[in-house]
Structure 1
Amino acid sequence: MFSYEEIKTIRNHFPSLNNQDNHRIYFDNAATTQKPVQVINAINKYYCHLNSNVNRSFNLLDQWTNNDLELSRTNMKDFIHAKYRDEIIFTSGTTESINLIAFCLSNMINKSDDIIISHSEHHSNIIPWQVLIQNKNAHLKVIPVNSEGELNLIVLKQLITKNTKLISISHVTNTFGIINPIQKLIQTAHKYKALVLIDGSQAISHISIDVQKLDCDFYVFSIHKMYGPTGLGILYGKQKVLDKFTPYQGGGGMIEQVTFNQTIFSGLPFKLEAGTPNIAGIIGTNKALTFLGNYSMIQIKHYENKLIQYAIQMLMNIHGIQIYYKNSKRTQMLSFNIEKIHYFDLGQLLNNYGIAVRTGTHCAQPIMDYLNINGTIRLSFALYNTMAEIDIFYHYLIKCLYILSYDQKHSTFKVNKFKRIRINT
């Protein structure tokens, strides 16, 4: 558990949290995290002092930049415990990573084959597979969730067959923060020789990842959800699988030789990284890894779990509230609704008080339709959030409910509790 002074020190790394013109409480970390000054400075340094391309020439700036880029690849390999550095592919984000895999797998999918996803997937882990199976006249199967919002692995055993080529599942669900039993799923899939893709977008900065122990074939995530820059993602794939992939795109930086008759492609990782990469983002990523490396992932998870449990405890004081799957194994987020209150109205009022939450379907309409929910309010926490911020959020939540003419006679809210709160604690 972090001490008060440790959290205060962590918050001091984030300029956006200490901006005097931006007194906001940020509870939308599942969408993107704030950036520490180390990441910002590294990107600024690249553009001000090192601006150069990579793998294009032998000038000194190019060599320095290339060394920084490849150092980031090596450190990412170590961070997720991949076996080889060539298994780390830089993409523009989780969305491109999944689309890249879908494109490269298309040559391996036949009419009788199927792909399995779940009801709780983000749209970016649904649409690429819809496109693929439509183009191949293959089949898309969906694992339902049980009464606790968890994957129904009994149904999975009924869905999976020798024709299943891939199972693509989120490590942590985007809407409710539930941790899926991916280890069991991977073991089941491999018995049928099916590949497994894990979308780790909501897990990467909250759970220690060891892709070799998981034995997944692919693990993808976006850097902007782990205190790094936007516009950059990671595709981890087992080397023996990626070796079979034909390039997703063609361009510079991924070839050995080009003639009008034939092109010979480079090996991994470059054959899947056509064109000039997001160099500044990759350099900034290395600083994000350094920042995260200062803390134990177990310690982070424990602290964020305390935040979640405290938020649930506070919210349960409100009559008519529904917190979705509050007893399930979860990470840093929770979703809720309040009877007779529209989530959008409440979210807008909270925004007026400087509190950033997410409202709507969270890019996961199928699970909302499945559960007959129009949308929710989602709170998602990060390492720099505090219980004091939850107190302030709760204070203004109650105020918003009064404004919306909600009956608060069953609430245990007391105004004097909030007189001691300071936003920077």
Structure 2
Amino acid sequence: MGAPTWVWLVTVAGILALLAFDYVFHVRKAHTPTLKEAAIWSTIYVAVALLFGLGVLVLGGGAMGGEYFAGYITEKALSVDNLFVFLIIMTSFHVPRADQQKVLLFGITFSLVARTGFIFVGAALINTFAWVFYLFGVILLMTAGNMLKPDDDSEKENVVVRLARRLFHVSEHYDGDKLVTVEDGKRILTPMLLVMVAIGGTDILFALDSIPAIFGLTQNVYLVFTATAFSLLGLRQLYFLLDGLLDRLIYLSYGLAAILAFIGVKLILHALHENNVPFVNDGEPVHVVEVSTGLSLGVILGVLLITILASLFSKRGRVKNAIGNARRHAAAYLDSEYTADPAERERIHDALIAERDFIASLGPKYVEIARDETPLMELLERALASHTAAVERGEAAPAGPPKILRDE
């Protein structure tokens, strides 16, 4: 299993303690974390993962250390990509901002349990059937190809959610973070339960490409488990830290597709090297070049660095990010159920104004792109009109002129 039993017990106890800490001290009382809070706790969780990796490096040697870090970085990058889907789900369900932490933590916990199951199943298959490496390699190559396709179905409800809506009576509104509420004397489900079902269902799909990817970097079950677990811990804080920047990473999917394709090829090469499939080379191993852990780590870091830098310096990425954020903030400002906190509404409005002015500063070409976003323009006009009415009632501070709404 890659480590002595007592090491497994200590590690699992530590991970459960971190999860319990999050539940007790961070999400028990609904609130929206500040940027400072999210940054501090994201840093702490990354530091814990890196310190654990240094421990593996010192006690297990360079090979084990390299495998852990390659697995952790890959899983972390895939987790960031998963945040896009979490954002879409919570936006489509209009989850109140203060309750999003609990939804995310549930998703992380469910994902950890589901992926642990997949890890042990995958390890058992690998130990029993060498051809599984071929299967994992093909899965990753197919996943890489799918990542390059435009996704038009991301906002559709999954099958489980649709089934739940048909079988059970679900309220139209949230009741705090409760999963069940009472309407007309009857106990019914709240949308919060459906959100958690949607998050849990997508987590299972994510695991289908995540686990083969890390098994392509190490077959040490302990390293697979710990790299996966530490990549998930702190994901909740990272969501709020990257809030408003996710759309900026426009080339991330291309980078992840390249990484998954690389690992897929690596797995197939390894399968050929260990081959015992009768119809491939008469069941004899094929002498091929195997990719080292060091090269894998270098490729993963290099691709991610290029992808992130290209995204951050892309003007197209900046305007896409601003348009996406403006759309979400305008919808959130108009959704009275999203938050009842005046300070949070003011924060959303200030962010909306900043995005509006930023798009205007990019020049006529990008202003025209924003104007062509009809749903965005309608939302902006309604949100700004709502704020103007609040100013007239003395409930909000005045804002500047709507720059992207006027002709340049």
Considering the TM-score relative to the shorter chain, is it more than 0.5? no
Q: Which has the higher strand share?
A: 1
TM-score in terms of structure 1 length:
0.25
Query: Normalising to structure 2: TM-score of the pair?
Result: 0.26
